[in-house]
Structure 1
């Protein structure tokens, strides 16, 4: 018996160690990574694809295995590994591609929405993604410029640096609160939504996956997730310098450098970006620009391959943004003709709104972020450890009456400290029918908020409106798995169980509050690969956004607000046809929300707070398409519809005064949610000569009708508007010249509108969108 057990042990050990783990990178002849290249062990069905940084990892059957690497438009290569565990593959363009004899189809965009590398055309989720080449072509420099390419996603800013408003599939973000999307950088979840204000540069992937993603990303992924992956450090030395200028006194300088500290062992990447902008919007009372900004960003990365199976990487990033604040528009005619203020047209036209505050608002944000990653490959299993910290400091000061009168001012100082620790165990066996991952997560968040105002009718005028510290501790367990029932049918299931503790120490109202919440977030999907080019899927997912505490109870909101949950059901399809030259994807979804969160500022008390709708729902659909008409021209379009409705508005207040009954809004549309979105565009890329290349990108983005208040009154509702953006580029050898324009028709629009009659103010106020912006940039790689 002992002999049989020993023989069985030796057999298992031999099988386990007969496999060789090979890691590597696929690049073109210029050193640029090739995402989506197919790497196959010759004579077997074992294969993988390279990720958005060109990296791959494959388990081969022996030391003398042969790898075949192929990619559309490039020559297929065969590589004998000869016992080597590290292989870098350089692909050459095929003669057919160079001669442009045939029209090349789409090779597909590689994403990581389910935390593993796969083509978005085979991912059973509603995903929009751009790899490095697409990011550069579209001129994506921030989340706002990418959101114009994604149906049912809207990104706005207002008030001050770092104050963002994201709406996804009918779920809006509350002011200063948690976003309805998880924000993930290089696989690390960043909880502070103010970081979405930073410039995006030197990127390998930007990806949005929609629908509740709590099972994969945890709390606040109630509407989806934004994945951003920076470019990896490289083994080959490369550098890039870019200088740019634009109207409004814009100046930008960027430097990127990457290479090996110890060849094949230790690599670095250093990048920095500086941008300054004088502004385009004018305060007519002060005769000064108000939307000025200055942005400095620096990032350093080090990656070390300590052994063939063990790698470590560290990243540190610092950025500081200074900008204007509180430059809201008011009606130039004024109420009763006395001075600016009163009712404001929600559909702006030239001359019908002005910025006339007597105080020049200013704001700033400083961020320090770092992470440390360890990856250990055991052959069939990979263990990952991700440790990160983040500190955000924000401050702002500006007018509060927004008039050319010395009445009220406002200010805020906020600091957020976050620590994350995550352990993941992932399956790496590509031959298995069952793909899985498991892990645990720990997070602490500490937010220190101080808000104050000035009322010049009192002596002394300054008073405090909020002074508190919120702390959140989260422990979570999660798991996700795919099982191939047949060669075409796959079932997926995942879960995440969050254990949250929330506390608040309020120094202004001298209160201490604490609450606990445990939330189970399941996800189930079924996908059917009807043919090589047709995928049909069905998903159910649950997400939640955590509740919290307001500074004080008023008639408009309670002392605390509840956790928001969403149950989402979705059907979708993904198709590729016409020799991979036409992509057409779509999905329809239905979400039921409980305790949906909304924000309001009570100007009777000068206290801001969050309240809940008892029940609401969203029904909608999305369509995305792209066609390659010739080797020189692509056309793309997308459309999204989100019918968001209040089912039961519930009641708020009553703790210290009157009750506000929001059930009178039952059946109305949820505010801050565009009813629809539509985008259409053209993209072109071709060689003029062997050394001269042209790139062009044109996009028309339309935002549908938006209700700014639950009342749905026409006087507080904006009609649809369209923004036209374009980018043209010429590349000569290592040089590139770009010309870009945003809002080329100089469309006036609002990013935020606040009807005064519902917050105790005589004024409607609004935050203007960015006017016509144009510029140019010159870069060189060496």
Structure 2
């Protein structure tokens, strides 16, 4: 689809959304309602839950609520996660993908789930989190170290669970429409009904921009003249539907359908490193479609069984053109690559509190990944892997104030097929199977309902991805099917309290030791004697030490404020290569002032120290401070108009050197909840 067609589609979509919004505003004005934390959460999609009526015992878990996502205008999952301490927004500039680092580990080590179902891309485990919007979510649940074994394999650095909505009333919903700089447009609508014995929830969203407006402070380069960022358009459309049955108390069975389509340009390198290649890339489509089943069945008063099943398809294409006309493919570096992936599997979890002072849970997982790829006019290449995991977790109440959470899992990775088309005779790579044991234990002590302390230790692993093992990286590397799992031992001490009866405090100190970390090393090229190439090997030893603290408080009846700070030190003990994309320091702070009930003003600021964009330290993304402001007014109950500015000071900054982020961006939104 060319850019003119995208614009026409965007205008048509805008018109349809406007009509829908009009119907919503006219049809349900008397049912407008305030949004409250914890409402509308699809609890079947949560993993770390306690016995009925009890709070979650693992106090290391953090949540981003739907209210927070809307309050800070975090329309994508990547931007929403950046609100939390210990999480760092990063950008893989060469591919125009956003991801999150959790305490220094990237998305391969911190898998993403949707209602408990793993949705990371089978090939490399890297979902582009800027493609996932937040409009259909009730909360995001984050674990950064001590992650329940009930999640399954590969949670070496934690987990991110996107939890969808579930209706609680006979009729409820929300909708929004807005525009922003860059000919940007956002629209969404969610509608749900709960009829006691059944419920239905549906929603769609659309987020697009024709270009990113650059900072006036940017100095032009050979491939970027400033103002409108070259080839920076994007379109993301999401549709979802959920049908649930609740035939009896505690029984719940839900079938969900998800469909999302994305397309985007890939802005060229605009830095000062002359060795960096200028790429002219576009993604004609980045799609995901899936069907998920979630259920919970009580077994008497003290036991239950939960079942999940899923089938997901991932399709995307990457076109590399000759030049900035984005029309021809004649150069040797040009290509038209297509991926066609699918994954299916399921899990079963059984829990019981029949043994006094124990809540025991056992979960088994099975996942089958299929990856197909080719450049146009070349044969398709196929890879298949199976993942199996079984884990047991016991929450033991030792005293009224002291309890422990102990867990153990066994994970297995089995390569079924890995085709190698690099040779004229066409052959398969050797089999590559791995297994790992993951023990963990945490102690939690509650001095009071608000003052709590914890100490946790866990051993976690991450299996190498298909890309880690088999990719030639465009002829710049040789595969290594013999890669073994990476292994990390995580330690954490945490404390939380409410000071002066109003200041919420949460803090943690953590240390992680990683061995068998996968690093790229220089080796002799077996096909070209006298020359060298690179290969992934399990040679890395990395230590990560950090500290986090967050404070929030209603300072007065009209003023709320909060601040969090993260520190992380990465130490590569194996070589002089630097750990990339992670700043040593990060601060986020906000204040919200409401002089009268319907009116509020909000400001937030984030400050990050420098980060390395290359392991040799030559490319560095400088530290930055970015401020955002907005004003909101509730016209009638549930109907809110807001206007604001992101990057108020028009800071020229980058998360990856040479790939500048948006400059000053104006926005205005109209939202309605009923």
TM range (shorter): 0.7 to 0.9
Distance 1:278 1:181 in 2: 31
* Aligned position for 1:306: 247
For normalisation by structure 1, the TM-score amounts to 0.71
Query: In the superposition, relative to structure 1, how do residues 312 and 186 fare at CA in structure 2: closer, same or farther (>3 Å)?
Result: same
Aligned residues: 612
On the 8 A contact 1:391/1:416 being kept in 2, the answer is: yes
Query: In the superposition, relative to structure 1, how do residues 280 and 162 fare at CA in structure 2: closer, same or farther (>3 Å)?
Result: closer
Whether 1:254 and 2:192 are equivalent positions in the alignment is no
Range 766-775 or range 438-447, more displaced: 766-775
Q: Which residue, 434, 440, 444 being the options, matches 2:358?
A: 434
Q: Any idea what the Cα deviations from partners look like across 1:275-320, whole Å, max 9, x if unmatched?
A: 2211125865899841101111111111111233432111101010
Distance 2:81 2:489 in 1: 24
Query: In the superposition, relative to structure 1, how do residues 599 and 423 fare at CA in structure 2: closer, same or farther (>3 Å)?
Result: same
Query: In the superposition, relative to structure 1, how do residues 213 and 380 fare at CA in structure 2: closer, same or farther (>3 Å)?
Result: same
Report the CA distance between 1:467 and its aligned residue.
6.2
Whether 1:550 and 2:476 are equivalent positions in the alignment is no
Distance 1:360 1:468 in 2: 22
On the 8 A contact 2:541/2:572 being kept in 1, the answer is: yes
* Aligned position for 2:439: 522
Distance 1:165 1:124 in 2: 25
Root mean square deviation of aligned Cα: 3.6
Query: In the superposition, relative to structure 1, how do residues 142 and 119 fare at CA in structure 2: closer, same or farther (>3 Å)?
Result: farther
Report the CA distance between 1:555 and its aligned residue.
7.8
Report the CA distance between 1:599 and its aligned residue.
6.4
* Aligned position for 2:663: 771
On the 8 A contact 2:318/2:337 being kept in 1, the answer is: yes
Q: Which residue, 326, 346, 359 being the options, matches 1:421?
A: 346
Distance 2:232 2:548 in 1: 34
Helix, strand or coil at the partner of 2:135 = coil
Report the CA distance between 1:56 and its aligned residue.
9.1
Q: Which residue, 505, 516, 540 being the options, matches 2:419?
A: 505
On the 8 A contact 1:631/1:686 being kept in 2, the answer is: no
- Listed as ranges, the gaps of 5+ residues in structure 1 are 1-27, 36-50, 58-110, 174-178, 332-340, 345-354, 453-461, 650-664, 754-765
Q: Which residue, 372, 397, 400 being the options, matches 1:484?
A: 397
* Aligned position for 2:40: 53
Report the CA distance between 1:506 and its aligned residue.
1.8
Distance 2:34 2:359 in 1: 30
Q: Which residue, 105, 121, 139 being the options, matches 1:171?
A: 105
* Aligned position for 1:582: 503
Distance 1:608 1:294 in 2: 36
Distance 1:318 1:390 in 2: 10
On the 8 A contact 2:41/2:139 being kept in 1, the answer is: no
Query: In the superposition, relative to structure 1, how do residues 402 and 278 fare at CA in structure 2: closer, same or farther (>3 Å)?
Result: closer
Report the CA distance between 1:248 and its aligned residue.
0.5
Q: List structure 1 runs of 4+ shifted beyond 6 angstroms.
A: 54-57, 117-122, 285-288, 400-406, 599-609
Query: In the superposition, relative to structure 1, how do residues 164 and 596 fare at CA in structure 2: closer, same or farther (>3 Å)?
Result: farther
Query: In the superposition, relative to structure 1, how do residues 362 and 551 fare at CA in structure 2: closer, same or farther (>3 Å)?
Result: closer
Helix, strand or coil at the partner of 1:329 = coil
* Aligned position for 1:708: 613
For normalisation by structure 2, the TM-score amounts to 0.82
Distance 1:599 1:744 in 2: 40
Helix, strand or coil at the partner of 2:78 = helix
* Aligned position for 2:604: 699
Q: How does 1:336-375 map to 2 (within 5 A)?
A: 342=274, 359=280, 361-375=282-296
Query: In the superposition, relative to structure 1, how do residues 416 and 486 fare at CA in structure 2: closer, same or farther (>3 Å)?
Result: same
On the 8 A contact 2:630/2:645 being kept in 1, the answer is: yes
Distance 2:71 2:550 in 1: 18
Whether 1:189 and 2:115 are equivalent positions in the alignment is no
Q: Any idea what the Cα deviations from partners look like across 1:192-225, whole Å, max 9, x if unmatched?
A: 2426321111321123221152623222211111
* Aligned position for 1:291: 232
On the 8 A contact 1:326/1:398 being kept in 2, the answer is: no
Distance 1:137 1:288 in 2: 28
Whether 1:726 and 2:629 are equivalent positions in the alignment is yes
Distance 2:250 2:56 in 1: 29
* Aligned position for 1:594: 515
